[in-house]
Structure formats: structure tokens, C-alpha cells
């Protein structure tokens, strides 16, 4: 079921989103060679609790930690562990969610550890740019796959044949982390549910340097690229309003990222 939020509910989504943004910023600042994914998890847990929120991943279908921490060929759902220690040249994808007064925020970033190869920096930039291309189509009056199509077109606008992971995608979000509709990261525009004020979506492209085929590891969570190629993952939660999108998980509401697409935010 697609849940439509009132302005008051969107304000709570914004509060949840800002706590997630703070947790991701604190983890980003701590990323360095020698730091474990468990260390990063503890930082996020502290920030979320200090904000008066609850980690949404902890206990979700039995997930044992506060964040997902996925290194290099790991795409999503990596489990933080004190023996997983970051090394110079790694890429770490951090996915974080929090619940504030019953409402969810969900956001992810990929971060380079120290110096990485130019093609790795390009993968991160391409993936993040595709997220903002998708967010720029979170406009009342449009259709769901306008977002999907914009993500895909952005990834495909580069000469390197990046892979778009098609097994996983974005989702509606509100009083639960995962709601309808599922948001594909590819496809033709003009299809699917109409985008209406009060609809909140998590948009989350996963892009690979090589083939996008995936394998789930025996831990039942970690998803990796089948060919071992590097992956990146960026995600934001966005609320669609009559006056434009509000990226609830961005400190500036998405103002800077959406200005690139000539879209004004509603805050
Ligand atoms: Mg997420
Ligand atoms: Mg999500």
C-alpha cells in the first residue's frame, strides 16, 4: 500500500532524515585506514540515540547491527564486524536508517578510504549524480518511472559501461522502512503510480564498474558483485510536496544537488 503523508508527518520524516544525515556525516568523518566497520557502526548508533531516534536496521529481519557497511565488491547489506578493517584504497558503502516518533529516514553514501584510483572516484561521482538525477524527478504530477528513467539515463550518459544493479532498488517509506512502491533504477518514463504530494520515497542507485550481476553471501545478508568488480551505493529519502521535493536526509533539504537540475526545494 502506498502511504500518503500529511505536512505534519513529513516534518517528522524530516527530523528522522536529519538524524540519519548526522550519523552518515559522523561515519564519513571517521573513515580512515585502520578503522573497523564495527567502529563506524558504534558511531552511528551513538548519533542516532543522541538524536532521540532508534536505529531501524537493528533487528530488521534479524539484521544484527545499526548500519550496513559494504566494502569494495560488496554492494549492500554488509554486516559491521570488528575484524573488517578499512585499508587505503578501499571503497566503503554505508547505509543507515533511523526512526523518529514512528517515522523513518533511510540514506546511504559511498566513501573512498584514503587515495583511490581515478576510475573509482568516477564510479562514486557517477552513482551520486544518478541519485540526484532521480531525485530531480520526484515531482508532483509525474510518474514513478520518471525517476527510474532519470537514474538510468544519468548512468548511461558516460562512456564507461557502468552496471546498474537490477535486483535491488528504492522504495516507499514512512511509518515502515520499506513500503510500496518499489523504485527501479532503470526503465522507461511515464509509467507506474502518479507522484502526488505526501508520497515519500527512498531512491537508491547501486552502480558497478563491471557486470551488475549479484550474489548473496552465506551470511544471508551481504550482496556482492558476481565478477568481483567494485560497487557504489547512494541513497536519499525524498518527500514529494506540492511546492517541490524535500530531501529529508540531506542537511540542506537537497537544495544544492537539485539546483544542478534547476529544481527548487520546498524548504
Ligand atoms: Mg538504505
Ligand atoms: Mg532503502
Report residue 215 as a C-alpha cell: 550474489
Ligand 1 centroid to Cα of residue 203, in Å, is 9
Question: Is the sign of the CA dihedral 60, 62, 68, 73 positive or negative?
Answer: negative
pLDDT at 153 (0 to 100) = 98
**259 φ/ψ angles, rounded to the nearest 5 degrees:** -60, -35
Ligand 1 centroid to Cα of residue 141, in Å, is 26
pLDDT at 247 (0 to 100) = 98
Ligand number, closest to the Cα atom of 20: 1
pLDDT at 206 (0 to 100) = 98
Ligand 2 centroid to Cα of residue 205, in Å, is 10
Ligand number, closest to the Cα atom of 68: 1
Q: Which of 56, 58, 68, 60 is nearest to 27 (CA)?
A: 68
What secondary structure does DSSP assign to 38-63, as a single string?
A: HHHHHHHHHHHHHTT-EESSTTGGG-
Beta bridge partners of 194: 143
3-state secondary structure 173-204: CCCCCCEEEEECCCCCCCCCCECCCCEEEEEC
Ligand number, closest to the Cα atom of 57: 1
Ligand 1 centroid to Cα of residue 235, in Å, is 6
Cα–Cα distance, 111 to 93 (Å, whole number): 6
- Helix/strand number for the chain, H first, E second: 5, 15
Beta-carbon neighbours within 5 Å of ion ligand 2: 106, 202
Ligand 1 centroid to Cα of residue 228, in Å, is 22
Ligand 2 centroid to Cα of residue 2, in Å, is 15
What secondary structure does DSSP assign to 75-134, as a single string?
A: EE-PPP-TT-B--TT-EEEEEEEEEETTEEEEEEEEEE-SS--HHHHHHHHHHHHHHHHH
Give the pairing of strands 236-241 and 200-203: antiparallel
Ligand 1 centroid to Cα of residue 94, in Å, is 8
Ligand 1 centroid to Cα of residue 192, in Å, is 22
Whether 14 contacts 5, CB under 8 Å = no
Cα–Cα distance, 79 to 10 (Å, whole number): 30
Ligand number, closest to the Cα atom of 95: 1
Ligand 1 centroid to Cα of residue 95, in Å, is 5
pLDDT at 267 (0 to 100) = 84
Give the chain's length. 267
Can you tell me whether residue 258 is helix, strand or coil?
helix
Cα–Cα distance, 68 to 54 (Å, whole number): 15
Ligand 2 centroid to Cα of residue 237, in Å, is 8
Positions of the chain with pLDDT lower than 70, given as ranges: none
Ligand 2 centroid to Cα of residue 86, in Å, is 24
Whether 169 contacts 131, CB under 8 Å = no
Which string of b and e fits 191-212 if b means at least 16 CB within 10 Å? ebeebebbbbbbbbbbbbbbeb
Amino acid at each position: 500500500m502506498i502511504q500518503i503523508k500529511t505536512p505534519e508527518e513529513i516534518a517528522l520524516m524530516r527530523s528522522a532524515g536529519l538524524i540519519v544525515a548526522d550519523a552518515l556525516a559522523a561515519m564519513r568523518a571517521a573513515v580512515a585506514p585502520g578503522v573497523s566497520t564495527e567502529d563506524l557502526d558504534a558511531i552511528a548508533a551513538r548519533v542516532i540515540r543522541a538524536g532521540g531516534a532508534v536505529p531501524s536496521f537493528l533487528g530488521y529481519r534479524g539484521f544484527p547491527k545499526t548500519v550496513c557497511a559494504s566494502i569494495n565488491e560488496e554492494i549492500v547489506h554488509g554486516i559491521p564486524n570488528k575484524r573488517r578493517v578499512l585499508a587505503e584504497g578501499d571503497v566503503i558503502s554505508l547505509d543507515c536508517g533511523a526512526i523518529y516518533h514512528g517515522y523513518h529516514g533511510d540514506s546511504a553514501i559511498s566513501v573512498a578510504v584514503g587515495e583511490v584510483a581515478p576510475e573509482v572516484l568516477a564510479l562514486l561521482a557517477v552513482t551520486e549524480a544518478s541519485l540526484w538525477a532521480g531525485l530531480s524527478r520526484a515531482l508532483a504530477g509525474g510518474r514513478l518511472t520518471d525517476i527510474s528513467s532519470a537514474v538510468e539515463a544519468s548512468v548511461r550518459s558516460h562512456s564507461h559501461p557502468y552496471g546498474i544493479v537490477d535486483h535491488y532498488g528504492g522504495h516507499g517509506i514512512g511509518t515502515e522502512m520499506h513500503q510500496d512502491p518499489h523504485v527501479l533504477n532503470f526503465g522507461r518514463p511515464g509509467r507506474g503510480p502518479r507522484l502526488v504530494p505526501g508520497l515519500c520515497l527512498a531512491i537508491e542507485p547501486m552502480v558497478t564498474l563491471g557486470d551488475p550481476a549479484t550474489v548473496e553471501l552465506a551470511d544471508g545478508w551481504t550482496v556482492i558483485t558476481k565478477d568481483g568488480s567494485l560497487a557504489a551505493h547512494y541513497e536519499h529519502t525524498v518527500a514529494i510536496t506540492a511546492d517541490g521535493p524535500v530531501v529529508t536526509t540531506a542537511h540542506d533539504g537537497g537544495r544544492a544537488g537539485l539546483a544542478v537540475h534547476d529544481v527548487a526545494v520546498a524548504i
